[in-house]
Chains A and B, each alone.
Chain A
Amino acid sequence: MGSAIEIKAVSKRYGALQALDDVSITVEPGEFFALLGPNGAGKTTLISAMAGLSRPDSGSIQIMGHDVIRDFRAARMSLGVVPQELVFDPFLSVRETLRFQSGYFGLTRNDDWIDELLSKLGLADKANVNLRALSGGMKRRVMVAQALVHRPPVMVLDEPTAGVDVELRQSLWTFVKELNEAGHTIVLTTHYLEEAEALCNRIAMLKRGKLVALESKDKLLQHGKEREVAFKLNGPLPDTLLPRKVREEDGRIVLKLPDIAQLEQVLAALREAGVAVRELNVIEVDLESVFVNMMHGGQV
């Protein structure tokens, strides 16, 4: 079987702005994939291109093997998108919204699935409420349900947890994980890096329209081999170690090591200077620091 998403050399300009610059990404079926990048990096533009909402200037995109422009019907049947902006039709109730959305995808008798979506997303008691009367987080849930009415094999969520409370974030991720385990391919963008870290197996990072990293999460974390180690010492830091010092926080001195293996040398230098170590912590790298590092031009 082919790839779930195949993005080939996609570029897109808005006037003088290069929103996407020769981006190529392949996502395999069943992957849980994160698309990261700062504001304006081009994440939404890339998702719009996958969904046919915008037309790339060059390059091509296939969803489940269907070209999103030439074979748009099959491509769109295979794709569910939760847009970043909170949008809704103020004339309709939740159930009407989902029934109409099913109809646009050619489905008439979809009520069983709609009921399941409503209950999974905690919307069962809101089924007949008008969208206008729902809170923002509830509207977001309806958008997730709308993206799923046609049970697409590929689902893309553009910052689905923005403005959503902790409880919904939890239940949303449980739900999306279930979908993933049931075989759906999931792509998400988020600014909460711990979400990407907890959920995804592969990560792409965009910066000013360019793909700056595309790797499995573990590999990406490994790249951040640089470790920070916090020491509590019973004497002053020897001069030889001063260049390694990055900061001091609550009585502890934080040193930066290009590799954890160099801890040996640091300890040796301390012993030589007659300074004893009273406490030692290795500060774990997380995606966030790798991310921040990369976005500030650091090398992967």
Chain B
Amino acid sequence: MQGFLTLFRKELVRFWKVAFQTVAAPVLTALMYQLIFSHVLSRHVEAYPGVSYTAFLIPGLAMMSMAQNAFANSSSSLIQSKITGNIVFLLLPPLTALEFFAAYMLASIVRGMAVGAGVLLVTAWFGLPLPSHPLWVLLFAILGCGVLGTLGVIAGIWAEKFDQLAAFQNFLIMPLTFLSGVFYSINSLPPFWYAVSHANPVFFMIDGFRYGFFGQADVSPWLSLSVVGGSFILLSGLALWLIKSGYKLRH
């Protein structure tokens, strides 16, 4: 338990020491998106009855930033440790696979939540209502970051070089987070893209998160919860198994 707490704390210290880059920068990026998209689109679209496009955009942007940063946290920490070789100091102590996994995953959640809170804070004045279901908001925030943090653990263990990790990020994480209904309600999509979006777990994170704010969404929050929760359990199982087997960590 102490081992887990220590590694968790170290992972927090790691991103907090460079918070300008790991928290402030993504918040600024999200603010840019908010400014540009709401300026371009606000007069054309009303996403849901009574919900302006500018307000609609905020939770999606927040969740997208949370997802990307949760992924970045665990994956970049792991690959840096692997490439510099200091991961050996985590492999020599008696840490269990669960302690190891939980520390990286939970630190990712904290980073994601910090970024999410920052994004909501700076964009709220575009018309974000107080959440109608705060518990759904919290639940989807935690689970969403958890799924991406876990994916980050898997990618960080799998990748041997920075460019492999970059490929993972650019060809999987970016498309998943962008093609997820951040910028639009998927009900407005042609049937093919509608179907594709439904195969994307990030869509359900965003949709569930939005439901928490507006009390309405594209699909039922329970469906979103089961998809996101199911992904979390599945990916966590995979990550734990990789760590336990020593995949790419212990040769």
Q: Once the chains are docked, how many angstroms separate the CA of A79 from the CA of B3?
A: 16
Q: Does B49 contact A (CB under 8 A)?
A: no
CB <8 Å contact, B6 and A104: yes
Q: Does A223 contact B (CB under 8 A)?
A: no
Q: Once the chains are docked, how many angstroms separate the CA of A219 from the CA of B3?
A: 44
Q: Mark B1-26, 1 if CB is under 8 A from A, else 0.
A: 11101110110011001000000000
CB <8 Å contact, B86 and A89: yes
Q: Once the chains are docked, how many angstroms separate the CA of A255 from the CA of B246?
A: 56
Chain B residue at minimum C-beta to C-beta distance from A146: B89
A residues less than 8 Å from B81 (CB atoms) = 89
Q: Chain B: how many interface residues by the 8 Å CB criterion?
A: 27
CB <8 Å contact, B86 and A87: yes
Q: Does A183 contact B (CB under 8 A)?
A: no
Interface residues of A, Cβ cutoff 8 Å to B: 48, 51-55, 72-74, 76-77, 79, 81, 83, 85, 87-91, 96, 100-108, 146-147, 150
Q: Once the chains are docked, how many angstroms separate the CA of A77 from the CA of B96?
A: 13
Some 9 contacts from A to B, beta carbons below 8 A apart, are: A53-B250, A55-B246, A55-B250, A87-B86, A102-B6, A104-B90, A106-B1, A106-B3, A107-B2
A residues less than 8 Å from B6 (CB atoms) = 100, 102-104
B residues less than 8 Å from A150 (CB atoms) = 93
B residues less than 8 Å from A102 (CB atoms) = 6
Q: How far is the CB of A113 from chain B (nearest CB, A)?
A: 16
B residues less than 8 Å from A54 (CB atoms) = 250-251
B residues less than 8 Å from A77 (CB atoms) = 94
Q: Once the chains are docked, how many angstroms separate the CA of A24 from the CA of B95?
A: 28
> Which of B2, B84, B86, B246 counts the most chain A CB atoms within 10 A?
B86
Q: Once the chains are docked, how many angstroms separate the CA of A105 from the CA of B95?
A: 8
Q: Does B88 contact A (CB under 8 A)?
A: yes
Q: How far is the CB of A134 from chain B (nearest CB, A)?
A: 14
Q: Once the chains are docked, how many angstroms separate the CA of A88 from the CA of B86?
A: 5
CB <8 Å contact, B85 and A76: no
Q: Once the chains are docked, how many angstroms separate the CA of A76 from the CA of B250?
A: 14
CB within 8 Å for A85 and B85 given contacts A77-B94, A104-B7, A107-B2:
yes
Q: Does B233 contact A (CB under 8 A)?
A: no
Q: Once the chains are docked, how many angstroms separate the CA of A48 from the CA of B46?
A: 62
Chain A residue at minimum C-beta to C-beta distance from B10: A100
> Which of A54, A88, A100 counts the most chain B CB atoms within 10 A?
A100
Q: How far is the CB of B187 from chain A (nearest CB, A)?
A: 46
> Which of A81, A87, A88 counts the most chain B CB atoms within 10 A?
A87
CB <8 Å contact, B88 and A104: no
Which B1-57 residues have C-beta < 8 A from chain A? 1-3, 5-7, 9-10, 13-14, 17
Contact of A91 among B14, B90, B91, B94 (CB under 8 A): B14
Chain B residue at minimum C-beta to C-beta distance from A45: B251
CB within 8 Å for A72 and B94 given contacts A103-B6, A104-B7, A105-B3:
yes
CB within 8 Å for A76 and B92 given contacts A103-B2, A103-B6, A108-B2:
yes
Which B88-142 residues have C-beta < 8 A from chain A? 88-96
Q: How far is the CB of A110 from chain B (nearest CB, A)?
A: 11
Contact of A76 among B17, B93, B251 (CB under 8 A): B93
Q: Once the chains are docked, how many angstroms separate the CA of A101 from the CA of B89?
A: 7
